[in-house]
Structure 1
Amino acid sequence: MSIIMGRVGAAAAIVAMFLLSSCGLNSEKKPVMAESSHTRGEQCDRALGFFSKELGIPTVDIEYESEAPYEEIGLGAHCTVTQTDLAIGQTRLRAMLPNESEPALLKGDLSYIPQSGYDEKVWIKTTASAVNIATKVDGWQGTLTINTAQIKTGESKFKISDQQIRSASQFLISLTKELGAEG
């Protein structure tokens, strides 16, 4: 009788271990990259609106290249804003890899300066010809490039203000949050 109880106890222990591991209680949880079901068109429409309304840039358009506006963002997508066929800006959204702690383009580039005063992490790199902004929101990275040297606003050269850079940073945070997988 004790042999039978021993076998039943061993079988019960094996079943219990199986149930615990299948429920995830005994296994290590691995991060999973989630895809976005939002479309490139949504991303590009928002970028176009930002460049025309917030930055006040006339006659802007979107260049889709070989991808269609109805295609899903999936694990990542980009959108190029043009003015008279010149690329004046770009947004990129990408699911971060499980081992990434910050946007990939920041690695080894010390010219990106961390910013404060935002709900999410923001880094900015300013050059004579462009402003580059990066953010990290809920496992997604967003980047925004404004090619200031390419932008035409009439007779004068386009100058971006500190307030416009702040507005661009807020726009990028919202874009990444709303169109990332959790959005």
Structure 2
Amino acid sequence: MVPLLLALTGCGSSGGDGNSSKSSSYAQAKLCSEFADFLRSDLALDIDDSTEVHSDKPVGKGTSCPMNSTSTGLVGTLSMLRTGTASGDPSNDLGYVSQKGFDEKVWLAPDNRFRVQVGPWLGTMEFYHQGDLSNDKTKQSIQFLIRTTHEVNN
């Protein structure tokens, strides 16, 4: 599988390309902890606590939260990137298809890949080794990604 945001590998912040002026003060540790909690409670995955970020650093202009399972290795990645524009459309990029019925721009792609746009922030989430998610789990995942991208945007 091709990583969604090649520039954002591992935990940490990205300096961006200078196209955006406002960074997010939302804490990386809080973002990654919320992602781990979501994986545990909503998807019932056993997350290895050592993969959580324990940094008080802000998200800045971008960050990534990879999460490992105690049994299968990497199970998911949550990434946030300030794009500098509010008009990203990845529908032709990596098989993403626009989704209707949400207040924000939402795209889905095969293999449990999610993307949302909230203002200039692009939130992406991928799950590995999970098979096809049920409709309920897919909707919960989209709602989580919208909510967290909103929090990073504020």
TM-score by length of 1: 0.66
State the partner residue of 1:121.
Answer: 105
Query: Aligned pair in 2 of structure 1 residues 75, 119: CA closer, same or farther (>3 Å)?
Result: same
Q: Paired residues, what number?
A: 135
Q: 1:39 to 1:110 in 2, by over 3 A?
A: closer
Matches within 5 A, 1:1-183: 32-61=20-49, 63=51, 69-84=55-70, 86-98=73-85, 101-102=87-88, 106=90, 108-109=92-93, 111-127=95-111, 131-147=112-128, 149=129, 151=130, 159-180=132-153, 183=154
CA distance in 2 between counterparts of 1:44 and 1:34 reads 21
Q: How far does residue 39 in structure 1 lie from its aligned partner after superposition? A: 1.1
CA contact (8 A) 1:52 1:60 kept: no
> Which deviations, in whole Å up to 9, do the C-alpha atoms of 1:102-135 show, x marking residues without a partner?
16xx2742610100111101000013xxx11000
C-alpha distance in 1, partners of 2:50/2:108? 24
SS in 1 for 2:78: strand
**Which consecutive residues of structure 1, in runs of 5 or more, have no partner in the other structure?**
1-30, 152-157
Aligned partner of residue 45 in structure 1, secondary structure: helix
Runs of 4+ in 1 over 3 A off after TM superposition: 59-62
- The Cα shift of 1:138 comes to 1.6
* Structure 2: gaps of 5 or more residues: 1-18
Normalising by structure 2, we get a TM-score of 0.77
More helix by share: 1
- Residue of structure 1 equivalent to 2:11: none
Instruction: Report what 2:6 is aligned to.
Output: none
1:33: Cα distance to partner? 3.2
Deviations 1:17-44 (CA, angstroms, capped at 9, x unpaired): xxxxxxxxxxxxxx95311011110110
Distance 2:62 2:20 in 1: 15
Contact 1:121-1:137 at 8 Å conserved across structures: yes
Take 1:141 and 1:33, find their aligned partners in 2: how far apart are those partners?
Answer: 15
Checking the alignment, whether the CA contact within 8 Å between 2:121 and 2:149 is kept in structure 1 is yes
1:59: Cα distance to partner? 3.9
Q: SS in structure 2 opposite 1:97?
A: coil
- Equivalence for 1:9: none
C-alpha distance in 1 between matches for 2:87 and 2:132: 33
Percent of aligned pairs with the same residue?
24
Distance apart, 1:93 and its partner CA: 0.6
Indicate the RMSD between aligned Cα atoms, in angstroms. Answer: 2.3
Distance 1:61 1:89 in 2: 14
Label 1:68 to 1:140 Cα distance change in 2 as closer, same or farther (>3 A).
same
Paired residues of 1:62 and 1:80 also in contact (CA < 8 A) = no
